[in-house]
Amino acid sequence: MAYLTTTETGQPVLILKEGTGRSRGKEAQRNNIMAVRIIAEAIKTTLGPRGMDKMLISGMGDIMITNDGAAILKEIDVEHPAAKMMVDVAKTQDEMVGDGTTTAMILAGELLGKAQELLDQKIHPTMIVSGYRKAFQKAEEVLQKIGTPVDLDDRETLRKVAVTAMASKVVGEARQHLAKIAVDAVKQIVEQRGEKNSADIDSIQIIKKAGKSLADTELIQGIILDKEVVHPGMPKRIEKAKIALINTALEVKKTEISAEIRIHEPTQMKAFLDQENHMLKDMVEKVKKAGANVLVCQKGIDDLAQHLLAKDGIMAARRAKESDMEKLAKATGGRIINNLDDLKAKDLGEAGLVEERKIGNDKMVFIEKCKDPKSVSVLIRAGLEKMIDEAERAIHDALSVVADVIENNQVVAGGGAVEAEIAKELRDYATKVGGREQLAIEAFADSAEAIPKTLAENAGLNTIDILVALRSAHQKEKGYTMGVDVFSGDVTNMLEKGVIEPVWVKQQALKSATEVASMILRIDDVIAATKPKAEGMPSREEE
């Protein structure tokens, strides 16, 4: 039973339901901090080009091999409430900037680890939280100060940003090829909104098909429909295509309520069937009259309508996904029509080539060579299904960071250079703040240094030597570009090495880590209630 208080005579007073668990004070804080640190430790070894992979096996026996922080946390079944907050942080980081999840996890774990040491020294949690927030604000200033603007027409720099994001993925030498695809794809879908550039990577369709190798992954200037041409008599290749995008069925609608039709003689039956055929012919005629030679339908196409379309030399695909229809409209410049009566020549989309191709065992319709498409496709190929999945995660990271740079035009050196510079600046800043908050700011500085330290650890380097060399390099003028080269084992200029990351990714990682650490530090009571169960009624678990 759970008691919250006692009377003057020492009699316990029952406040909470039977079965309710409660931990408070230092015990609650210690449990929460430990849970977060365990998650951070599990993810830690995946950081950097020399990071290791995790094999995750689901309850169904499905296997995933990855070192993507967001993917790992999404797959593992976390029970502890504080650890679940870390999963939410990873999800937010991935949705906001698409990269930096592992960095955010490690920072959060380190911030709470250092906070535990301060709590043991009798420093109040609110004082630590206040120091952390001041440190984060200072870190933001440092990021803005050392950030370098990028010429958005400089594809080489954008390519380096994409390669850096994929450095830890197991895509090998193909990362240069994938980085070029990522840059070309994002540059193609950029839209001007007021004075800002917008690059929504949801406009980039990712299609995965086993076979060939990663080097055969290609960018399609248009959209791939994972459908086949509906009728064998239709053309399989059309150049200079005029595409009708229809969100209505080319079928005779059945009545919504039960209806009875009484037919007394054969001529009436014939008239009834002829009317149905006439309606279908009329639909096909409207498509033909608009000048379309390709039809993509979101709903069904009747057998007779298929025959008539084939007769008129019109290629058709049916039951296309709504998301694919929207991408097709962006790619071809067409308009999705809900009523065939509204279909006009100006509503048709255009593509240089529409062709059905067999990829592996599947037939797919390629709608490509579009003129300035605002939606494009990446067809990922690889010999192994697991490699395709990891390549998709690599491409997602690459697309995300290129889009981040285009939307927020600043980059910094990678390889732990940023974190080392932030640590140096924070130590100088801490002495100016003074008091107990100074200790929290210095703890934040130590936590930031965990990133270059982990990079060195994962590469099998001597972490003490690396940190000493890194601190020394950052004391020099323009030392903020000096980071850990995990391949040579030296501290070098990471900008010259081409290891570049978006400022926005770093800023979001710092923000996420600071927020989750601050929130967990302020918790001093954890009350876990039992689920209510009505008498005679099965619980959700029993259902």
Catalytic residue among 94, 99, 324, 397: 397
| 318 three-class SS | coil
Cα(510)–Cα(506) distance, rounded to whole angstroms?
6
At position 415, the amino acid (one-letter code) is: G
Cα(513)–Cα(509) distance, rounded to whole angstroms?
6
Cα(418)–Cα(147) distance, rounded to whole angstroms?
9
Residue whose C-alpha is closest to residue 371's, from 388, 352, 386, 343: 352
Specify whether the CB–CB gap between 495 and 413 falls below 8 A: yes
Catalytic residue among 68, 347, 389, 404: 68
Residues present in the chain in total: 543
Specify whether the CB–CB gap between 485 and 494 falls below 8 A: yes
DSSP per residue, 341-408: GG--GGG-EEEEEEEEEEETTEEEEEEE--SS-SSEEEEEEESSHHHHHHHHHHHHHHHHHHHHHHHS
Catalytic residue among 66, 92, 101, 481: 101
Active site residue 454: no
| 267 three-class SS | helix
Q: Is 410 left (phi over 0), alpha (psi -120 to 50) or beta?
A: beta
Q: Name the token pair of 206.
A: 């990712």
Active site residue 101: yes
Active site residue 102: yes
Catalytic residue among 102, 103, 164, 217: 102
| 220 three-class SS | strand
Specify whether the CB–CB gap between 125 and 112 falls below 8 A: no
| 106 three-class SS | helix
| 328 three-class SS | helix
> Could you tell me which residues come within 8 angstroms of residue 524 by beta carbon, excluding any fewer than 6 positions away?
24, 25, 28, 29, 125
CA 90 to chain centre: 10
Q: Please, what is the end-to-end C-alpha distance for the chain in angstroms?
A: 27
Q: Is 310 left (phi over 0), alpha (psi -120 to 50) or beta?
A: alpha
Active site residue 274: no
Give me the active site residues, please.
Answer: 68, 101-102, 397
